[in-house]
Structure 1
């Protein structure tokens, strides 16, 4: 912002008079300055461009020999031809004020125009789950066991890495929660994570998934601060992109845990959808320095204000799991035998 202000100040703080002289020759001040900014790929469907972020500028002025352009994002370019192409990189739809000065020696004239440009998010990590077998070991690690006392929530399952509980099959990741006696627990399931393999700070996360059914099932897509081993929880921060309870069918939770706001006092909102356990839906998070937004099928249902004092400004890792029972999962249906959490893909964009 400081760069933009300084550039604007320089362009508009003064302008040349009507003419000057050099060696007896009059230097004419430029006039009739016009600027046209055209995002590449503009159409009725894409009024702010095709997502490339590239804008073509055409600049002209009578008597001008060169032009200086402040592009609204802190960058400045110069051109003598009156044509300029520039690519913006901040994802999403953003508006900028473009400041342009036309020069003839020391004489100049300035103007400004607005431009709105769409930059498509770029994938920085994904798993499409297209290779049958165990989850990709270069992307996923496992949490194994009961986490001492039910992973902090008195959950009933024992997490394993067995194909009985987690596998990729026919283009989807399957986490299978089932009733069985295993290592002292009455239920088994799986919890996979990218800890130690992939972390990121800010971006958009999308998961297309069909959720398990049955009272006591508790599937989730969530993230933890990568400093959890040193800072502990909730100081590390936790972002629950999607949680669903078999005892609250079709209610989707989006939740944030941080100091003073964790457990039952977390910051949370819900949205009701249809057919969560019988159809695939897209669960998404837009995470930025100023806001964290939760979506289902592109419907925004919760906006949380992020600030520099919160732990949501560092690298986080991803977790996909299905718990059974516990403080949040609730009563387990006595007739529950097995149910599967299916994930078509998970993608992370810048």
Structure 2
């Protein structure tokens, strides 16, 4: 549980006799000094102590409970333990007020790529963040009011209220613009939003992304939210993000990847990988299918231009078998030169095998092949991970779905943000506290 990039990763995962049958213990290092301990127990566990002995360490750690999870953890940032070292450990778990102590056990800290069968693939963890704090140096924070390319209703900010860590999680939380001290109901309709003046930077200027004016009947972005990119990028490997999705009308959370360098040109020429997208509405019905928070989707975007995006052939949806997706799940990408696989809790959402004649021919595009002889282009370059919560927009929330609450705007409206905002008395009651935030427990990027 450390917010730093490790020079190396060492991991040992064991099943412990103490406590409930499936309780698990994990100990690993993310750098040469950070020892991380995790314990997953039942809801009846009230305290966890871990005693560790080794050549350079003799400590007892009182683990801290992670909010809303049956998980406990601790990070010791001042150890002298090295990879290959031998540790002994003993776990004491308090359950129903009774202390249950395990026997002393021994583990050798080995490189993380030795933990899982590699099928002759070398694996290196290039980045992991467990969000004990929000280390901004590992991310690019988007700060702009472009609307994200989909006419969305939020401005992305670096505000603490939109991006923050608490209880060992990253919170990406949309808030009302009028709750910011610079804005009120009047400025929303008649004011200016100078992004660079407000936050010292603006990351995208197109579509008036750095400076918005309320004009005519349209208003300023009525929502503030958060969006981050990892500085780390990988070409082939596995991405794991453990997250709790938000719930509330017109929320649009996403876990996705974009190319670091866009070597083939602008979107979608250089590709996009959507590991997970969802709608926060409880109900978004079409032909008997609920496309709300009971459904997640994975998509690849690729093509020579925006009008020839072949995403429909590389899109799949998955419905929850137990309620909705507003709970904790691990969203993963397994990516090789041969295939791209999107997963939730290791269950497949989408699988795309690299076409034998390449994506260009598979897409039946005309004209010059912009990807040349690279069969798996554009998915053959380093990609970064993006995490965000958007709100509204023109297209993702269909005008033809049947929702729990009537959709406040039409996708062809000349003033969709105004329409949305003026129906806040209808949708805002579905936004309940931190339920509107996407919570991230950890993000992990493994290079093959």
User: TM bucket by the smaller chain?
Assistant: 0.5 to 0.7
Conserved 8 A contact 1:254-1:270 = yes
Conserved 8 A contact 1:217-1:245 = yes
Selected match of 2:297 from 253, 258, 261: 253
Q: Which residue of 2 aligns with 1:328?
A: 396
Conserved 8 A contact 1:210-1:280 = yes
Work out whether 1:313 is the aligned partner of 2:388.
no
Q: Which residue of 1 aligns with 2:332?
A: 284
Closer, same or farther: CA 301–234 of 1 in aligned 2, 3 Å: same
Conserved 8 A contact 2:245-2:325 = yes
Aligned length: 233
Selected match of 1:217 from 248, 251, 262: 251
Conserved 8 A contact 1:210-1:276 = no
CA distance in 2, matches of 1:294, 1:129: 23
Q: Which residue of 1 aligns with 2:125?
A: 123
1:185 alignment partner, SS class: coil
Query: What are the superposed Cα offsets for residues 293-338 of structure 1, whole Å, 9 maximum, x if unpaired?
Result: 0111111122102243320000111110000011214546732246
Selected match of 1:192 from 210, 228, 245: 228
User: Stretches of 4+ moved more than 3 A in 1?
Assistant: 91-94, 119-122, 263-266, 274-278, 329-334
CA distance in 2, matches of 1:198, 1:322: 20
* Unaligned stretches of 5+ residues in structure 1: 1-87, 95-116
Query: What are the superposed Cα offsets for residues 122-166 of structure 1, whole Å, 9 maximum, x if unpaired?
Result: 4221111012xxx3122111111222xx12101001110001111
Work out whether 1:167 is the aligned partner of 2:197.
no
Give the alignment's TM-score, normalised by structure 2: 0.48
CA distance in 2, matches of 1:122, 1:211: 28
Q: Which structure carries more strand by proportion?
A: 1
Give the alignment's TM-score, normalised by structure 1: 0.61
CA distance in 2, matches of 1:208, 1:198: 18
Computing the radius of gyration over CA atoms, which structure comes out larger, 1 or 2?
1
CA distance in 2, matches of 1:264, 1:122: 30
Coordinate RMSD, CA, aligned? 2.7
Q: Which residue of 1 aligns with 2:288?
A: none
* Unaligned stretches of 5+ residues in structure 2: 1-112, 184-192, 194-219, 282-291, 359-373, 399-406, 408-419
Query: What are the superposed Cα offsets for residues 248-269 of structure 1, whole Å, 9 maximum, x if unpaired?
Result: 1221111000106638746210
Closer, same or farther: CA 227–266 of 1 in aligned 2, 3 Å: farther
2:143 alignment partner, SS class: coil
Closer, same or farther: CA 259–278 of 1 in aligned 2, 3 Å: closer
Work out whether 1:271 is the aligned partner of 2:318.
yes
Work out whether 1:297 is the aligned partner of 2:379.
no
Closer, same or farther: CA 264–205 of 1 in aligned 2, 3 Å: closer
Closer, same or farther: CA 178–266 of 1 in aligned 2, 3 Å: farther
